[in-house]
Structures are given as C-alpha cells and as structure tokens.
C-alpha cells in the first residue's frame, strides 16, 4: 500500500500519467484509516499545483436516459478525434444498486475503458453526500495532475447531488428523454436551471416527441434566471448510440469555455467553487478529525448516553461537544 511508499515518488508517477499510481492514490483518499488519510493529504498537496488545467463537465440525467452510452461514445470521440485524455468519475450517494443504475461501471463503457487515454472510476461506496463530494473533489485534483484534460463527472439527475456537482464543474450537461415536462421525466426543475446544455437523447426513437421536447426546453431556458456566465444555454437532439450531435456538443463546450475565459467568468467561477469546496471540506474534515481524538470519543459517548436518557437535547449535546473541544 502507498503509505509505506515515498509520497514524492508516487506523485511523480501520477504526474507522469501512471494509472496504477493514480488509482492507488484515489483509493487512499477514500480510506478511513488516519495514516492513509495523512498520506492522501500529502499526495493532494503535491498534486495541487499540477491541477486545474482540465475542462470539468457534469453529465446527468435519470437512469436509462443514456448517460453511460453517451459517455462511452463522447469519451471515445474526444480521445480519437481530438487527442484528449478523458477521466470519468461517478457520483452516486445512494446505494450503488438503487434505481437499477450502477454509475461509472466499466461494463457499460466497454470501448472507452479499453482506451489507453481513458480512466474510469466508479462512485465511492456507502457514503454520505458530503463524503462523496469531498472524495470526488480529491479525485479531480489527482486526475488533473495525471494529465487528464477532460473530466466527465457522471451523476443521476434525480436529487440533491446535482447542486453539489454543479459546484464542482465548468459545464453542466443534462440528458433528457423525448417528451415535454420535467415532472414527466422525473427531473427536478432546479436541475434544468443549472444546465449549460440540454441534450434530448434517444431523439431518433420518437422524432415528434423529440421535436416537442426541443421546443419546450428552448422556451423554458429563455425564461430562466440569468446564467452564471452570461451564456444562453442550448438544447440539442442527440442519439448516443449513433453519436449524432456529439461533435456539436464538444464544439459548444469549447465555445463556452472560450467565451467564459475571455470575459473572466471561467476563472471567477472556479474561484467561487474553490471557496465553496473549502467550506464543504471543512465539515467533512471536522468530523473526521473529531472522531480520531480519544477524549472526544469519550465525551461523545457520555453525551450520547445523556441524549439517549432524555437528559439533554441533541442540539445541546452537539454544542457541548464542540465547546469542550475548543477549550481543549
């Protein structure tokens, strides 16, 4: 395991593009063992100056909309036609097998996973939303240090995780099915508002419904609050199996990045995200370090008993624990 290895050596391997070192480093960031966490921190510090150069793209949509098919085709296109290195990270805070959707599963991205310039990492298991966010954030830094220039973050577009993902990416791509109406699609309206581009996938299956959806979402997007980067999000019809319009999507993303870089919003957005991530990591790290402390553990158990017996309120217990820590 890496903790016995030299951190600088491992990091140099990562920066040299070594996938085995990359995978091991990400595994360390997911570990709950304090010694692993310490090594992971050192790796992250080493990688940080080498990160930041990729385009980070969220790909979201309900199970069955075609996310894996899309990522498989899109990733291949970027590697083969544009000479990119593509990493796929999955976010699934729910149980891995729920919704019949196993995100980031290599068997659903067969061609892409066989590519030398692709890296696919499924979601960390059994995690809270904050835990998944913090680990995905770490994985982004390490993948970028390893030279991946396009990061695809896959997530199920049905719940809370999208806001979190929106805070991590430069571009938010929402896949929808032909047919109008967010509620019919099981998609929350807030998710549509976050989209930088909407792709109506499986459009060849029902062209009438696809055209309806195109019109519906074009209209919907016109009435959305102002976009974070003064950009008018577009709606396109796609067919992930044949690859229809995938090149156009890449062109759109590039145009978007160019525009946002020119008007300064790209960098501003990343800075804002970095501060938001600091706040988010704070909660995670606070909990982690808190429970590594023996005195805290004892106090926690005492307070738990008091709560259990109804002697104090859960909130008072939490305040007391934190206060006892602050005074030492």
Chain residues that interact with ligand GDP, rule: CB under 6 A: 61, 63-69, 101, 108, 201-202, 205, 239-241
Which helix (H) or strand (E) segment is 10 a member of? Answer: helix 7-15
Shortest reach from residue 204's CB to ligand GDP, in Å: 6
Measured between alpha carbons, how far is residue 82 from residues 170, 218, 291 in Å?
19, 29, 47
300: number of Cβ within 10 Å:
17
Q: How far is the CB of 156 from ligand GDP (least distance, A)?
A: 8
Q: How far is the CB of 95 from ligand GDP (least distance, A)?
A: 15
Instruction: Tell me how crowded residue 207 is: count the other CB atoms within 10 A of its CB.
Output: 11
Considering beta carbons, is residue 64 or 130 the nearer one to ligand GDP? 64
65 vs 220, beta carbon nearer ligand GDP: 65
- Smallest gap from residue 121 Cβ to ligand GDP (A): 15
Closer Cβ to ligand GDP, 22 or 199, answer by number: 199
- Give me the least distance between CB of 205 and ligand GDP, in Å please: 5
Nearer to ligand GDP, 13 or 201 (CB): 201
In this complex, which beta carbon is closest to ligand GDP, that of residue 96 or of residue 227? 96
Closer residue to ligand GDP in complex, CB, 47/59: 59
**Distance between CA atoms of residues 251 and 234, nearest Å:** 12
Q: Which residue number is nearest to ligand GDP in terms of Cβ?
A: 66
| 188-192 CB contacts, 8 Å cutoff, 24+ apart | 188/158, 188/159, 188/162, 190/162, 190/163, 191/60, 191/157, 191/162, 192/217, 192/220, 192/221, 192/224
What does the alpha-carbon distance between residue 266 and residue 167 come to, in Å, rounded to a whole number? 13
Reported as type and span, the H/E element at residue 175 is: strand 171-176
Q: CB of 177: closest distance to ligand GDP in angstroms? A: 10
Q: Read out DSSP for 36-76?
A: HHHHHHHHHHHHGGG---SEEEEEEE-TTSSHHHHHHHHHH
């Amino acid at each position: 395991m890496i903790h016995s290895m030299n951190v600088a050596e491992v990091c140099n391997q990562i920066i040299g593009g070594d996938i085995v070192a990359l995978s091991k480093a990400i595994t360390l960031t997911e570990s709950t063992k304090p010694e692993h966490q310490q090594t992971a921190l050192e790796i992250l510090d080493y990688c940080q100056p080498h990160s930041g150069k990729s385009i980070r793209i969220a790909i979201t949509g309900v199970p069955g909309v075609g996310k894996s098919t899309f990522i498989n085709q899109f990733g291949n296109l970027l590697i083969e036609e544009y000479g990119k290195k593509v990493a796929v990270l999955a976010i699934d805070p729910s149980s891995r097998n729920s919704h019949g959707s196993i995100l980031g599963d290599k068997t659903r991205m067969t061609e892409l996973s066989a590519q030398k310039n692709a890296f696919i990492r499924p979601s960390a298991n059994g995690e809270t939303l904050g835990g998944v966010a913090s680990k995905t954030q770490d994985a982004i830094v390490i993948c970028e240090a390893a030279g991946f220039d396009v990061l695809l973050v896959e997530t199920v577009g049905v719940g809370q995780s999208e806001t979190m993902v929106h805070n991590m990416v430069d571009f938010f791509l929402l896949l929808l099915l032909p047919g109008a109406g967010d509620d019919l699609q099981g998609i929350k309206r807030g998710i549509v508002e976050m989209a930088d581009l909407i792709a109506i996938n499986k459009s060849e299956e029902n062209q009438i419904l696809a055209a309806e959806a195109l019109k519906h979402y074009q209209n919907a997007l016109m009435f959305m609050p102002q976009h974070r980067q003064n950009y008018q999000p577009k709606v396109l019809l796609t067919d992930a199996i044949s690859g229809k319009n995938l090149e156009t999507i890449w062109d759109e993303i590039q145009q978007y990045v160019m525009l946002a870089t020119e008007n300064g919003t790209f960098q501003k957005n990343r800075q804002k995200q970095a501060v938001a991530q600091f706040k988010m990591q704070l909660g995670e790290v606070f909990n982690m370090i808190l429970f590594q402390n023996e005195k805290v553990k004892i106090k926690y158990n005492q307070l738990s008993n008091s709560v259990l017996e109804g002697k104090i309120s859960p909130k008072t217990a939490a305040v007391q624990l934190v206060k006892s820590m602050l005074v030492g």
